[in-house]
């Protein structure tokens, strides 16, 4: 009698714990390969590092007619993804921006440099 009571409680508990929705995941395939998107992001990171090689005033970078973020810089950023991956360039610029933010927090001695690079990545993304 005790055994049947325990077994019924165990089966009742097991039915309460079972998930209502299926537990198998069917992942949605990415539209673009992650490896190629990472390559585009690394190209853009290198470009921003070349455009802002030293600590600059953020106001100079954010000006509407900036001498730092020129039309040629924007065009080069557009071409970073090539014809096949051009739709992910703005996303990659935002990823690059977050990389520079993390680097700014880790390397406090170059905080101003990385803040300028964050602003440059933002401005390129905005102007695209």
Q: How many helices (H) does the chain have, and how many strands (E)?
A: 6, 0
Strand, coil or helix: what is 71? helix
Q: Is residue 8 part of a domain?
A: no
Mean local confidence (pLDDT), 64-84: 91
Q: Is residue 11 part of a domain?
A: no
Q: What are phi and psi of 24, to 5 degrees?
A: -75, 140
pLDDT the model gives residue 88? 92
Mean local confidence (pLDDT), 28-49: 90
Q: Is residue 103 part of a domain?
A: yes
Q: What pTM was estimated for this model as a whole?
A: 0.75
Instruction: Report, in this order, helix, strand and coil percent for the chain, each rounded to 5.
Output: 70, 0, 30
Residue range of the domain that includes 82: 22-127
Rounded Cα distance between 110 and 24, Å, is 46
Domains of the chain: total: 1
Q: Is residue 7 part of a domain?
A: no
Please tell me what DSSP assigns to residue 125: H
Report angle CA 49, 54, 56 to the nearest 5 degrees. Answer: 110
Could you report the per-residue pLDDT of 48-69, keeping only the tens digit for each? 999 999 888 889 899 888 889 9
Question: Token pair for residue 39?
Answer: 């390559």
pLDDT the model gives residue 32? 86
Q: Is residue 31 part of a domain?
A: yes
Q: Is residue 71 part of a domain?
A: yes
Q: Is residue 104 part of a domain?
A: yes
pLDDT the model gives residue 31? 82
Q: Is residue 97 part of a domain?
A: yes
pLDDT the model gives residue 94? 95
């Amino acid at each position: 009698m005790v055994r049947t009571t325990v077994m019924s409680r165990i089966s009742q508990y097991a039915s309460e714990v079972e998930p209502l929705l299926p537990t198998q995941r069917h992942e949605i395939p990415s539209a673009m390969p992650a490896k190629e998107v990472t390559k585009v992001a690394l190209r853009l990171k290198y470009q921003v590092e070349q455009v802002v090689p030293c600590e600059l005033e953020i106001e100079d970078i954010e000006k509407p007619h900036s001498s730092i973020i020129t039309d040629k810089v924007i065009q080069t950023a557009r071409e970073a993804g090539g014809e096949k991956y051009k739709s992910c360039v703005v996303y990659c610029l935002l990823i690059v921006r977050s990389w520079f933010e993390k680097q700014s927090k880790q390397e406090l001695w170059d905080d101003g440099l990385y803040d300028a690079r964050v602003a440059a990545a933002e401005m390129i993304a905005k102007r695209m």
